[in-house]
Amino acid sequence: MSTVRVGTAQPRQRRPRASVWRVFAMPALLLVASIAGLVLGLTGDGLPDALSWALLSIPIILAAIAFARRG
């Protein structure tokens, strides 16, 4: 990608660009956890349900952590 102007902000050191794989590592994990949780819940009562609740809570908990740490 060639250079592109971004407003008039001060020149600063930027974070290096992460690869697409790195950017999507966490989202992919969350996607798999969510879908596994949704399907597991269908496979029975008891343990599968508990696993389903745990897996589906991961995205909610991670979002809550991000909000708690924002700044």
Interaction site with other proteins (CB under 8 A): 1, 3-7, 9-18, 20, 23-27, 30-35, 38, 41-45, 48-49, 52-53, 56-57, 59-60, 62-63, 65-67, 69-71
Closest approach of Cβ 69 to other proteins, in Å?
A: 8
Closest approach of Cβ 23 to other proteins, in Å?
A: 5
Q: Which residues contact 30 (CB under 8 A, 6 or more apart)?
A: 58, 59, 62
CA distance 47 to 31: 21
As given in the structure block, the two tokens for residue 2 are: 């060639």
